[in-house]
Amino acid sequence: IFPTSTDAARHVATLMAKMIRENNASGVPTVLGLATGSTPVGLYRELIRMHKEENLDFSRVVTFNLDEYFPMPKDDSHSYNRWMQETLFSHINIKPENVHIPDGTVKPGAVADHCERYEEAIRKAGGIDIQILGIGRTGHIGFNEPGSPKTARTRLVTLDPVTKRDAASGFFGEENVPQQAITMGTATILEARKVILMAFGEHKAPTVQKAVENPPSESIAASFLQEHSDSTFILDAAAASDLT
Ligand code: F6R
């Protein structure tokens, strides 16, 4: 628990930079699982600063994003593909071929195959070293909404009404929020060697409390992280305020 989200973001960035530098020194890639949304913005800003001011080298970094709305053109202002380019990738020296984000433009009949190939690409990269997560008010990680089993893999899902309501302002109304998304599954996420879930602000406090203190269950996907051997919740004081 950190006093502010800025302190928390700096802590996570430092930990990621350490792993990237160590792996670079031994000539091995670092595989990062990345999230979009408001939560990781400060983290990405700090990583960009480290790249520009401290020569943090991303040329061997491989990334896999959690999710993308479906359907969603890559250049749409709501696309997570575009968001990642604008928020992080265009500011660092990552190789375009090392970036992986679920594709919201595949034909509906080809989604299952796309999801399988996404899982295969993660396996081929050697698995995810560090998975960065946010948490939704439904307790989702990625877009694994309530009812998602612990065994879920990358797939097409229907967004929970609460998630659509939370996204509504960005889409000028709830009716414009896509019904569906492609997301890494809970099982895909749990296979990462290290998981860092970040949550900031008072509005996250009740969900964080349930995820951390209730027994793991499908009603809060993030609660499954209790069963992971190396998962950490990085909170600001406000998000931690309901913990007993
Ligand atoms: C985003 C994602 C979501 C968000 C969550 C929190 O790629 O997978 O699980 O992390 O909805 O969103 P923010 O950070 O906007 O509160």
pLDDT confidence of residue 42: 98
Helices (H), 95-202: 111-124, 161-167, 186-190
User: Would you say residue 151 lies in a domain?
Assistant: yes
User: Ligand 1 centroid vs 143 CA: distance in angstroms?
Assistant: 8
User: Would you say residue 226 lies in a domain?
Assistant: yes
Ligand 1 atom closest to the Cα of residue 133 is: 10
User: Would you say residue 244 lies in a domain?
Assistant: no
63, 66, 189, 235: which to mutate for ligand 1, most atoms within 8 A of CB? 66
User: Ligand 1 centroid vs 144 CA: distance in angstroms?
Assistant: 11
* C-alpha–C-alpha distance, residues 204 and 134, integer Å: 10
Instruction: Identify the CATH number of the domain in which residue 185 sits.
Output: 3.40.50.1360
**What's the number of domains the chain is made of?**
1
Structural domain harbouring 11: 5-235
User: Would you say residue 68 lies in a domain?
Assistant: yes
| Count of all residues that appear for the chain in the document | 244
- Number of Cβ atoms within 10 Å of the Cβ of 198: 27
User: Ligand 1 centroid vs 237 CA: distance in angstroms?
Assistant: 19
Q: Give yes or no for a contact between 218 and 149, defined as CB atoms under 8 angstroms apart.
A: yes
User: Would you say residue 212 lies in a domain?
Assistant: yes
Q: Give yes or no for a contact between 34 and 40, defined as CB atoms under 8 angstroms apart.
A: yes
Closest by CA to 12, choosing from 192, 186, 133, is 133
User: Would you say residue 241 lies in a domain?
Assistant: no
Using alpha carbons only, give the angle 9, 10, 11 rounded to the nearest 5 degrees: 90
User: Would you say residue 63 lies in a domain?
Assistant: yes
Residues with beta carbon inside 6 Å of ligand 1?
A: 35-39, 66-67, 134-136, 140-143
* C-alpha–C-alpha distance, residues 184 and 133, integer Å: 11
Task: Provide the angle, in degrees to the nearest 10, between the axes of the packed helices 41-54 and 5-25.
Answer: 50
- Whether the complex's predicted ipTM is more than 0.95 is answered with yes
pLDDT confidence of residue 163: 98
- Number of Cβ atoms within 10 Å of the Cβ of 179: 11
Ligand 1 atom closest to the Cα of residue 141 is: 9
Q: pTM of the prediction?
A: 0.98
The pLDDT tens digits along the chain (244 residues) read 999 999 999 999 999 999 999 999 999 999 999 999 999 999 999 999 999 999 999 999 999 999 999 999 999 999 999 999 999 999 999 999 999 999 999 999 999 999 999 999 999 999 999 999 999 999 999 999 999 999 999 999 999 999 999 999 999 999 999 999 999 999 999 999 999 999 999 999 999 999 999 999 999 999 999 999 999 999 999 999 999 9
User: Would you say residue 243 lies in a domain?
Assistant: no
pLDDT confidence of residue 217: 98
Judged on CB neighbours under 10 Å (0-12, 13-18, 19+), 148 is: buried
